[in-house]
Structure 1
Amino acid sequence: MEVGRGRSSDTDNGSGNDTADTSAAGAPSPDALLPTLSERDLKILRYVGREWGQVLEGPEAWRSALPVDPNLGGYPDAVRPKRFGRFVPLTGLPAVEAEEEAEAPPSPLGRVGHHVRRVLLGPPLAGTAIAAERMRKLVALPVLSADALSSVAYGPEAMLAVLVLGGAAGLRYSLPIAAVIAFMMLAVGVSYRQTIRAYPHGGGSYIVASDNLGRVPGVIAAAGLMIDYIMTVAVSIASGVEAITSALPTLAPSAVVIGVAVIVVLLVGNLRGVRQAGAAFAAPTYAFIIAVFTLVAVGLADAAGRGFQPIPTPRLPVTEGVTLLLVLRAFTSGSTAMTGIEAISNAVPAFRPTEWRNARTTLTWMVTVLIILFGGTVALVHLDGVVPHGNETVLSQLARRTFGPGVMYGYVQAATAAILLLAANTAFNDFPRVLFLLARSGHAPRLFLRVGDRLAFSNGILALALAAIAIFAGFAGNTQSLIPLYAVGVFLAFTLSQAGMVVHWLRHRDQAHWRKSLAFNATGGLLSAIVFVTAGITKFTEGAWVAVLVIGLLVLLALRIRRHYDLCTQALALRPHVIELPRQPAPGSGPQVRPTAMPRMAADTETEELEEVESEERPEEVNHLVIVPIARLDLAGMRALAYAASLGQPLLALHLSPTEAEAERFRGYWATWGDHLPLEVVVSPHRAIVAPLVHYIETLHHQRPDLTLTVILPEIVVRHWWQRVLHNQTAPRLRRALRPLPKIVITTIPFHLPR
């Protein structure tokens, strides 16, 4: 915990110095917690500061009245917290373990729970631990392609599972449908090359659709992506478990338990902040590529030996006629092999320079490999006469026929299971980031903005795991039952992304080759729209209606959340004639403090044995210090400051910032207001809120045990219970954390939001 100096500038009291607002350190980062104030906001802030200056003693009077030194020191340069702790000793002061000790229940069971959490998740990481890792193309290919390439394990089988309903006549359409899907892979891949060129800093469907089509299409694209990522986890785990049970049939009855256990392991691993290290992803992905390439090559070589004559399929019962509807259903099911193509366009900044060029090259490699693996697998299925059945996957049947039940068969199954599990893990990185982007724009609860102890979006990771477990268990881990829910979300996002790119090129006709780029994106968007509409119609009764309904509910919820946040912003915004001011003090009065406590009467032996005694019995025996934790200078924060200043006691404002840059911005705003009251800024490298505040307040108590610390908290009070999740519950959490500490008085100043 680093504590900045309270005096941010030497501005005059209420002078409205125009240079004060320039003290903020540059433009804020996209994930900054402190909102940026416009020129109008700064003008109002100066006006409010002048009004405060007319009713308060000068800033020096308030600073000289402080009975403590608010500057408690900071972290040393090298920070290494203890295994079960978050804090290291402050300069010249003993460390106080605040996070677990303050927030955990005082019972032994509660402390054990927190220790178990630290064992599972590891010690917290400082913000400086974020590695700006850049990937080479050979590393980026397996890291970013695991989702797309793993779909080879279930995409062809999903297509064949529909065609087999038409018997041998239906299976004859497998090659033409696969050819159309391969062409669509090529078209969408080329269109995403244009997206990378237009958005060299990363352009996912949400960003592209929002930027070019508007707010609602952007939210729809984000909802489709969220469904896609949830289904990626469910389908990948289901397919991975099927690969395991195909090799070990005795585990089939425990498939759901195994799948849920794998999701829990992925949850814990991602909460620990496991990085997508190249070695961790490269080995299984390349192992799968080698396995399928070898399988296809050996299988085609065997087929060449018999003149590429297909082996007759076993006699199949015909349950449906070979109609256009059947062919379209098979086409949409097989199109799930395209999932994950978007991943590279999202991660352009992760490449080594020149980033966009390397990303486009890697995307080309990925699409090429995907087309070869997908087409080769379907061709081999056709030549070997393999048909889907419930006890064994198509890929397992091909491997068993080609290699026999030996080492190579086990290698193919192990590589397939490994890449499917890694594909599920990819969603744990992308889903929380979509939620983060939604929360940043006000369409999702702000709790999804928070980066956890291990530098991961913990709340988003937990939400994905719970949703995936519910879907996986609800459909009993059956891949074929999950596939209909899959295509709708992903192709909806594809369609809106490519439509957004068409609008982008129409707006930027001055760029080179814009017509060619527009044509590629229009082709990709048209094909994606065809698949989306086809999937929605043909798979509607098989479960696609669930995806459509959930997407609609997510969009409505996101728009409702945005409306609530917009109303909150309007209600909390500073207005010149609404702001509350502290009462006018009597002439010559101001903050009062006694440097020492009144002497106590002699205590008996039993009282002397107590380590701490709260024995103030008369008003003159109480020494005060008022502390106001303040997040931002809005109406709620100003009301709390006004109430605290009206008490006429020594006062210290306390602000918490996740970075020094954001701390400097707040100091700049504080100086613009007039720097009327003492301010101390705490910069926590661990991004916690409650723990550093408790740590700071408890350290002040150790510095002056005779003081009674009154903590005044601004608290947003919502009208409806469901709105509570949309706001950080800092005040209740801080109240619970501070209640066990001696000589701490906690007061909340409610700010009631309008209906």
Structure 2
Amino acid sequence: MGKERDGAGQVRPTTSLSPSAEFPPLSAQDIETLRRLGEQWRVEKPARALPVDPELRPSRPGAARARGPDEAFRPDQPGELTATPAAERPDTSRGRFALRVRRVLLGPPLSSMSMLRERMRKLIALPVLSSDLLSSVAYGPEALLTILVLAGSAALGLSLPIAAALVVLMLAVGASYRQTVRAYPHGAGSYLVASDSIGPRAGLTAAVGLILDYVLTVSVSVAAGIAAITSALPALNPLSVPLSLAVIAALLAGNLRGIRVAGNIFAAPTYLFLVAIGGMTLFGLGQAVARGFTVIPPPPVPATEAISVLLIARAFASGATSMTGIEAVSNAIPALRPVEWRNARTLLTWMISILILLFVGLMLLTHLNGLVPRANETLLSQLAHRTFPHGPWYPIIQAATALVLLLAANTAYNDLPRLLYYMARDAYVPRRFLHMGDRLALTNGLVALSVAAAVILTAFRGRTQALIPLFAVGVFLAFTLSQVGMVNHWRRHRGSGWRRRAAINALGATLSAIVLVTAAITKFASGAWVVVVAVPTLVLLCLGIRRHYDRVRQAVSLHPTPTQLTSAERSEREMAQEFLPQRVHHLLVVPVARFDQAALRALAYVVSLGQPALAVHVSPEDQEADRLRDEWTAWGDHVRLETVVSPHREILEPLAQYIAQLRERQPDITLTVVIPEVVVNRPWQRFLHSQIERRLRRALRRLPGVVVTSMPIHLSEVHPQATR
């Protein structure tokens, strides 16, 4: 079983995705510290009876609890209620309208107990997880030939030997990932393998490579799909970018509906593509058999470069984009039905077999028909035209190709949110990526992927060939690290047949490294420099996020670290005094701008708490301060008032500085600042007020030992007669 590190840096076995990941359990050391603190916990005054029943039982004895569609909470057991859909219903008309729109677009919410039911069976998982891999044959062969044709038509004869080498790479990487699925059956793919077998930084580098790969998968797939449409309908070419953005929005909406629903929606186009391309390949090979496998000479193309090892390596690296998406199954194991790892291995075998058959068939047909890349028509479109010059088959093939390319991005929508989930659990990305939406989808990861892909696609104006140089570096960086990690895994565990398995992984690592280095060097000026720069930059960013979370963990940990103990020179028992109620000393401060209902309500609240209280007023001049003191005396001077005159009419900063100096004079007190605040009925009405309450709250939150709260007064609750 693989392992991962939790937010406290402790190693634990990996588990499937869980809605509870946002709330990790306490460690055994934390529990012991908590027990010792509880033994010292004392309350000076006995607890009074609660003024309201927290279980929300009927107030009249003998009355039955109301049940029905409007019941907000359902009792399950003593001390526990379950929120019903009525509790999630907004209390404003705008909120209810937004909820209705959300339900129409995404469907009703799913309970946490539905996670197992939402997993995919193999026939649905195959098109969902393989759409990226299988659709890459629509542009991978063309990318290979685009490089070869630089040496002229004569160089196109090298396409078949290069294709054979790529098949070896596909087999090696596919076999390696089959072993990865068995050795790490809980998902996370290259990230987990590299982290566990090489080290955290290697895992983080692999993860960053995959993140770039998935973002580019969406960009390239959507751009290639729109290119297939514009090849058949050239009039739509000026609308390529808007159409691409619309497709990304549709993919986001579909995936927000949940894994199973998205799978059912997007499965049919992949199967249609397999039937269409498979049928075209068989029919084209039949035509070749009828003419005795005679090769049609390609049109003459002048050479702009000489044939060289570097040119062949570039063609090999470009053609290797035909296998992007091969790691998808290893990342999405938890999305499959039990037994997850066994179903994942079966899926991977199917995917590799279909990929090799399609890739070899298309490369062979392209060679036999003497086709070369064109600027205004894709290679697959030319092949369909040549194979089916008449009848409905050409538009069917183009439609199937466009659909599968557009939906190939769905593989990234399945895998990237999961990768971000595992990285967030290890504290390398914001923890909000742990959150599951009401359809059990990792909503924040889906939105982040859509936004990033839309930005990249717009920046490159939807041109597939401009995006592909960025594509190979990230994905083969992850491939290489994953293969090296698996070699280390077998060397460390040395189970039965480990040498054979390590040899397969070593071959995959070598070939992947060749593609990685070749793509990084030869395509550097064409755009690969973006990925070369982005990978270390994002790694450093993730490490910075981890350091931040480590500092937060140390600051809020129930048990102090050795560093904390040394710097403070106090024992755990002495530090624990901060957490005991008998050691907390209060001072409540109420900023008062004028005498009104908001100020009176805040003052009544702080006095009712029975703690020392102080009112503070900042005046722009002495006359105004004197007037407020006179009003204070008329009221009865029930709370000590301190006025501060600000000659330059600054209100916020002098008030914040005054409260800060109160804290400095007595560091052991807890200052609770209760801010009177008027809550308006409409959002636009906020602009009619100074919002000094919000600004003061932001300023005071920076001060240690200061608690900031507000006493709201709603306009609907104001009693005009109270001011008369």
For 1:323-368, what per-residue CA distance to the aligned partner results, in whole angstroms no more than 9, with x for missing partners? 2222111111110011111122223344455443333232222111
Is the contact made by 2:19 and 2:436 (CA closer than 8 Å) also made in structure 1? no
Do residues 56 (structure 1) and 75 (structure 2) align? no
Cα distance 1:142–1:182, how it changes in 2: closer, same or farther (>3 A)?
A: same
Moved more, 311-320 or 464-473: 311-320
- For the residues of structure 1 that align with 2:166 and 2:17, how far apart are their CA atoms? 44
Q: Which residue of 1 aligns with 2:306?
A: 321
Q: After TM superposition, list the pairs within 5 Å mapping 1:259-658 onto structure 2.
A: 259-273=244-258, 275=260, 279-509=264-494, 511-574=495-558, 575=560, 576=572, 577-579=574-576, 580-581=578-579, 584=582, 619=604
What SS is found at the alignment partner of 1:173? helix
Gaps of 5+ in 2: 1-14, 59-63, 76-80, 561-571, 585-596, 612-667, 673-696, 719-724
- For the residues of structure 2 that align with 1:132 and 1:617, how far apart are their CA atoms? 51
- For the residues of structure 1 that align with 2:375 and 2:579, how far apart are their CA atoms? 73
For 1:306-328, what per-residue CA distance to the aligned partner results, in whole angstroms no more than 9, with x for missing partners? 22121122221322222222211
Do residues 41 (structure 1) and 30 (structure 2) align? yes
Q: Which residue of 2 aligns with 1:663?
A: none
Gaps of 5+ in 1: 1-25, 587-611, 627-642, 648-712, 720-730, 745-755
- For the residues of structure 2 that align with 1:487 and 1:403, how far apart are their CA atoms? 32
> What TM-score comes out, normalization by structure 2 length?
0.73
- For the residues of structure 1 that align with 2:464 and 2:276, how far apart are their CA atoms? 22
Q: Which residue of 1 aligns with 2:227?
A: 242
Cα distance 1:535–1:582, how it changes in 2: closer, same or farther (>3 A)?
A: same
- For the residues of structure 2 that align with 1:618 and 1:136, how far apart are their CA atoms? 62
Q: Which residue of 2 aligns with 1:653?
A: none
Cα distance 1:239–1:644, how it changes in 2: closer, same or farther (>3 A)?
A: farther
Cα distance 1:583–1:249, how it changes in 2: closer, same or farther (>3 A)?
A: closer
- For the residues of structure 2 that align with 1:440 and 1:621, how far apart are their CA atoms? 41
- For the residues of structure 2 that align with 1:158 and 1:397, how far apart are their CA atoms? 15
Moved more, 370-379 or 314-323: 314-323
- For the residues of structure 2 that align with 1:27 and 1:479, how far apart are their CA atoms? 35
- In the alignment, residue 537 of structure 2 is paired with which amino acid? L
For 1:50-99, what per-residue CA distance to the aligned partner results, in whole angstroms no more than 9, with x for missing partners? 3322x534xxx32x43211122369x99x9989xxxx8466799999776
Count of residues in Structure 1 that have an aligned counterpart in Structure 2: 587
- For the residues of structure 1 that align with 2:69 and 2:461, how far apart are their CA atoms? 43
For 1:380-408, what per-residue CA distance to the aligned partner results, in whole angstroms no more than 9, with x for missing partners? 11111111112111111111111125311
Structure 1 or 2: larger helix share?
Answer: 2
What SS is found at the alignment partner of 1:172? helix
Cα distance 1:581–1:178, how it changes in 2: closer, same or farther (>3 A)?
A: closer
What SS is found at the alignment partner of 2:41? helix
Cα distance 1:625–1:153, how it changes in 2: closer, same or farther (>3 A)?
A: farther
Is the contact made by 1:202 and 1:345 (CA closer than 8 Å) also made in structure 2? yes
Q: Which residue of 2 aligns with 1:151?
A: 136
Q: CA RMSD in A?
A: 4.1
- For the residues of structure 2 that align with 1:480 and 1:237, how far apart are their CA atoms? 13
Cα distance 1:412–1:718, how it changes in 2: closer, same or farther (>3 A)?
A: farther
- In the alignment, residue 420 of structure 1 is paired with which amino acid? L
Do residues 127 (structure 1) and 112 (structure 2) align? yes
Is the contact made by 1:81 and 1:123 (CA closer than 8 Å) also made in structure 2? no
Q: CA deviation at 1:200?
A: 2.8
Moved more, 171-180 or 480-489: 171-180
Tell me which structure has the larger Cα radius of gyration: 2
Q: Which residue of 2 aligns with 1:188?
A: 173
Q: Percent identity?
A: 53
- In the alignment, residue 224 of structure 1 is paired with which amino acid? G
Q: CA deviation at 1:277?
A: 5.7
Cα distance 1:563–1:742, how it changes in 2: closer, same or farther (>3 A)?
A: farther
- For the residues of structure 1 that align with 2:700 and 2:342, how far apart are their CA atoms? 48
Cα distance 1:378–1:714, how it changes in 2: closer, same or farther (>3 A)?
A: same
Q: CA deviation at 1:232?
A: 0.5
- In the alignment, residue 479 of structure 1 is paired with which amino acid? T
- For the residues of structure 2 that align with 1:249 and 1:414, how far apart are their CA atoms? 14
For 1:662-681, what per-residue CA distance to the aligned partner results, in whole angstroms no more than 9, with x for missing partners? xxxxxxxxxxxxxxxxxxxx
Moved more, 330-339 or 111-120: 111-120
Q: Which residue of 2 aligns with 1:674?
A: none
Q: After TM superposition, list the pairs within 5 Å mapping 1:666-745 onto structure 2.
A: none
- For the residues of structure 2 that align with 1:367 and 1:545, how far apart are their CA atoms? 30
- For the residues of structure 1 that align with 2:243 and 2:16, how far apart are their CA atoms? 48
Is the contact made by 2:118 and 2:260 (CA closer than 8 Å) also made in structure 1? no
- For the residues of structure 2 that align with 1:624 and 1:123, how far apart are their CA atoms? 44
- For the residues of structure 2 that align with 1:234 and 1:557, how far apart are their CA atoms? 23
Is the contact made by 1:67 and 1:625 (CA closer than 8 Å) also made in structure 2? no
- For the residues of structure 1 that align with 2:134 and 2:263, how far apart are their CA atoms? 16
Q: Which residue of 2 aligns with 1:700?
A: none
- For the residues of structure 2 that align with 1:453 and 1:93, how far apart are their CA atoms? 15
Q: Which residue of 1 aligns with 2:614?
A: none
Q: CA deviation at 1:198?
A: 1.4
- For the residues of structure 1 that align with 2:524 and 2:376, how far apart are their CA atoms? 26
What SS is found at the alignment partner of 1:275? helix
Q: CA deviation at 1:265?
A: 1.4
Is the contact made by 2:328 and 2:411 (CA closer than 8 Å) also made in structure 1? no
- In the alignment, residue 572 of structure 1 is paired with which amino acid? V
- In the alignment, residue 383 of structure 2 is paired with which amino acid? L
- In the alignment, residue 578 of structure 1 is paired with which amino acid? M
Q: CA deviation at 1:452?
A: 1.8
Q: CA deviation at 1:742?
A: 8.3
- For the residues of structure 1 that align with 2:606 and 2:327, how far apart are their CA atoms? 68
- For the residues of structure 1 that align with 2:389 and 2:33, how far apart are their CA atoms? 78
- In the alignment, residue 413 of structure 2 is paired with which amino acid? F
Q: After TM superposition, list the pairs within 5 Å mapping 1:243-258 onto structure 2.
A: 243-258=228-243
Q: CA deviation at 1:43?
A: 2.6
For 1:571-595, what per-residue CA distance to the aligned partner results, in whole angstroms no more than 9, with x for missing partners? 1123432242566499xxxxxxxxx
Is the contact made by 2:145 and 2:373 (CA closer than 8 Å) also made in structure 1? yes
> What TM-score comes out, normalization by structure 1 length?
0.70
- For the residues of structure 2 that align with 1:284 and 1:168, how far apart are their CA atoms? 35
Cα distance 1:578–1:305, how it changes in 2: closer, same or farther (>3 A)?
A: same
Cα distance 1:465–1:735, how it changes in 2: closer, same or farther (>3 A)?
A: farther
What SS is found at the alignment partner of 2:152? helix
Q: CA deviation at 1:37?
A: 2.5
Is the contact made by 2:89 and 2:96 (CA closer than 8 Å) also made in structure 1? yes
What SS is found at the alignment partner of 2:21? coil
- In the alignment, residue 535 of structure 2 is paired with which amino acid? I
Cα distance 1:165–1:47, how it changes in 2: closer, same or farther (>3 A)?
A: same
Cα distance 1:160–1:81, how it changes in 2: closer, same or farther (>3 A)?
A: farther
Q: Does 1 or 2 have the higher relative contact order (CA < 8 Å, sep 6+)?
A: 1
- In the alignment, residue 555 of structure 1 is paired with which amino acid? V
